[in-house]
Amino acid sequence: MPSVLASLAHVAKSRDPDVNQRRAPRVLVDMVSHVVARGRSQGVRIINISSLGLMCRTDAELFIGERISVWLPIVKEVTAEVRWAEDGRVGVEFMTPIEPRMYDAMLSLIPPRQTAW
């Protein structure tokens, strides 16, 4: 029978900042944009982004599992699902990954962020 500590190894790994569990690397950015949720446009500040999703700060009330659209340069409106929301930060996953050429072109227009947040 495995020990309790052995079965909790995944928890320790998930809290280790040196372990990158993302499917795609995130790029630190600093961009003001907007999302549309429930028919209303809400302001956001995008903190990091990848071809698969992003994290932003917002005062908007967004719910886990909610479908939203996010405006991004080059790409325009992209449909996404809210994956988590905590203390004014929201993580979303794009319903369709951004194609690499468009992603690179988009990044060239977004100011980089100097600090994590």
CA torsion angle 94 100 104 106 (round to 10): -40
CA atoms of 20 and 42, how far apart (whole Å)? 30
Average model confidence (pLDDT) across the chain: 85
pLDDT given at position 115: 66
As a whole-number percent, the residues of the chain with pLDDT over 90 amount to 71
105: pLDDT strictly greater than 70: yes
114: pLDDT strictly greater than 90: no
Report how far apart, in Å, the C-alpha atoms of 65 and of each of 12, 87, 92, 110 are: 26, 17, 9, 27
What structural domains does the chain harbor? 24-107 (2.40.10.220)
pLDDT given at position 23: 74
Question: Is 106:94 a contact under the CB 8 Å cutoff?
Answer: no
Question: Is 59:88 a contact under the CB 8 Å cutoff?
Answer: yes
